[in-house]
Amino acid sequence: MSAALQDPVVQQFVARETQKQRFQGLIHEMTGRCWDTCMVNPGSKIDTKTENCIRNCVDRFLDTSNFVVNRLESTPIPETTPKKSGFLFG
Amino acid sequence: MDGFSSPPVGGKMDSATREQLMSQVKQQIALANAQELLQKMSEKCYKKCIAKPGTTLDNSEQKCIAMCMDRYMDTWNLVSRVYSQRLQRESSRMS
């Protein structure tokens, strides 16, 4: 099995499938969250209001995730080197 | 997953073994995704449809669950459509 992982074609396959699975996992996650947020009463079809809610829910979830990453990237790393006088070192 | 003959030196497998391995992995991934969907569906539809668990799953509860499953599937499809539209939008903006 470990020898299979040396094979370049298999390596590529694994990388691609891992990426695909990340998308899939996110879809499962967002479906669950947006269902809880938007679905009041499952009727005979998804009505317009619910559909819009789900669309917004997905887009805002992704916005939030992007925002968090961007903000962390653009914020200078705070001085976290512990000063020797903190309560951990006092 | 066992029983593969060890690949020749240099880390290259013969293509039949490789194909077999990759299709097995794909099958297992598909199975895992189906299980995740089933598990989430049961959880969500139980919550929507079974207010007071009685001695049986009565007719109206079964109807509710069936409807709920269909709408959950719809939601799943809608979410994946919206997500892939979003991915396309962002990748075209990057290029």
pLDDT digits (tens, 9 = 90+) for A24-64: 999 999 999 999 999 999 999 999 999 999 999 999 999 99
The structural domains of chain A, with segments of one domain joined by +, span 16-38+45-65
CB neighbour class for B70 (10 Å; exposed up to 12, middle 13-18, buried from 19): middle
A3 contacts in B (CB within 8 Å)? Answer: 6-7, 11, 13
Give which of B71, B72, B73, B94 to mutate to test A binding, by max A Cβ within 10 Å.
Answer: B71
Q: What is the mean pLDDT of residues B19-30?
A: 94
Residues of A in contact with B37 (CB under 8 A): 28
Distance CA B68, CA B44 (A): 8
pTM to 2 decimal places: 0.80
Six-digit token string for A1: 């099995």
Overall average pLDDT of the B20-43 stretch: 96
**HSE of B86 in the Cβ direction (CA atoms, 13 Å)?**
18
Dihedral sign of CA atoms A57, A59, B31, A22 in order? negative
